Structure 1
């Protein structure tokens, strides 16, 4: 029942926002009484945090697994970028919830999400970038890369209206290929055979 509530609430929150969706509405969507809903979640904030953890935890672990896969560094990075872009462009529930969190700017909830969900996969990204790029600050590089991908997704609705833009400019694989071409310019040179 808890998972059923989280799925229904995540879809409603993503579509309409937190303030527009009441606990009563979620209970109705799930087919339980409002009292039953409060049995599982003491209040709406606990439900919101539980929804965000439910939606983002598995995805963040998947990204971490890709980054820690043991493949060569460039392939790990390319796979991670492709996976993340596909998530941003295709998984509307998680993307809308993510953008809502950024726009809501609830500092306590953002800190909670960072510490409980995002930090491990971010650390993995920083390690991969440190191994792959010439950079004195892999954390800053990871912030920059992540922000660029998120910003690209947010800007994608405008892309089709820009003169000279091609439809494939909003395809995750095309974006990944282009970004990897740019990143290779700053990659550490492979060791020369001895």
Structure 2
């Protein structure tokens, strides 16, 4: 097992792109660059100032465009947030596809790569500030609550695939539970060892412990009868 943690092709320091702005197939399809500018401005405000500061007028001012021009692309803040989160998760999905789903890797190596990518990303300013902000908001805003759970379900999908490969004897519910456990175990480290957090310097050790533990848990898990 130790060999898996000392791979020849580490995933350390992988930077997930901030956004992959989706193309529109219906409605207003032009202005891709303008929409990307709007979404990047909204993301920057969320990271630096928080949700309360991210009004439509504040975004328009940050972009240097008229409010009417902004609402031409995004009629409401909810519509803008939906596309912003889609752009964020699309960036992760592309990185998972590139890093995790390479041919020739064992399932254990795939899990190692996935967890390395996530734990490295947690240390970025974007991730440390953006996701806790949105999760806190989801306690009071049903729209954000639903979008965040959709986003994380998509983010967990690669873990579920890997667990199923590692343990084809398990039922789907068992794979779901193991994937959820791995996901929230990693995400929970954000408030302790994320960007500018007290235990950031311990993240290399945390990452080694986590990956070894997750591989062992999946390989040895015995469902309750």
Could you state the TM-score of these two structures normalised by the residue count of structure 1?
A: 0.79
1:170 corresponding residue in structure 2: 203
CA deviations over 1:17-49 (Å, ceiling 9, x no partner): 222232222112111111111111101121122
Instruction: Indicate whether 1:182 and 2:216 are aligned.
Output: no
RMSD (CA atoms): 2.4
Deviation at 1:102, TM superposition (A): 1.2
Change (3 A) 1:176 1:33: same
Structure 1 range deviating more: 132-141 or 39-48? 132-141
Number of the residue aligned with 1:99: 132
Structure 2 residue corresponding to 1:111, chosen from 125, 146, 149: 146
CA offsets 1:48-85 (integer angstroms, 9 cap, x no match): 22222222221133225434323111111111101011
Q: 5 Å matches for 1:111-130?
A: 111-115=146-150, 117-130=151-164
Counterpart-to-counterpart distance in 1, 2:145 and 2:61: 29
* Map of 2:111 onto structure 1: 77
2:175 maps to: 138
Q: Which runs of 5+ in 1 are unaligned?
A: 161-166, 190-194
- Pair 1:28-2:61 in alignment: yes
Aligned to 2:186: 149
Change (3 A) 1:61 1:109: farther
Query: Which residues of 2 match residues 1-16 of structure 1 at below 5 A?
Result: 1-16=34-49
Q: Number of paired residues?
A: 178
> Is the 1:135–1:141 contact (alpha carbons within 8 Å) kept by the matching residues of 2?
no
Q: Note closer, same or farther for the CA distance 1:97–1:186 as it changes in structure 2 (3 Å cut).
A: closer
Using the size of structure 2 for normalisation, the TM-score is 0.69
Shift of 1:187: 5.2
Higher helix share: 1
Higher relative contact order (CA closer than 8 Å, sequence separation 6+): 2
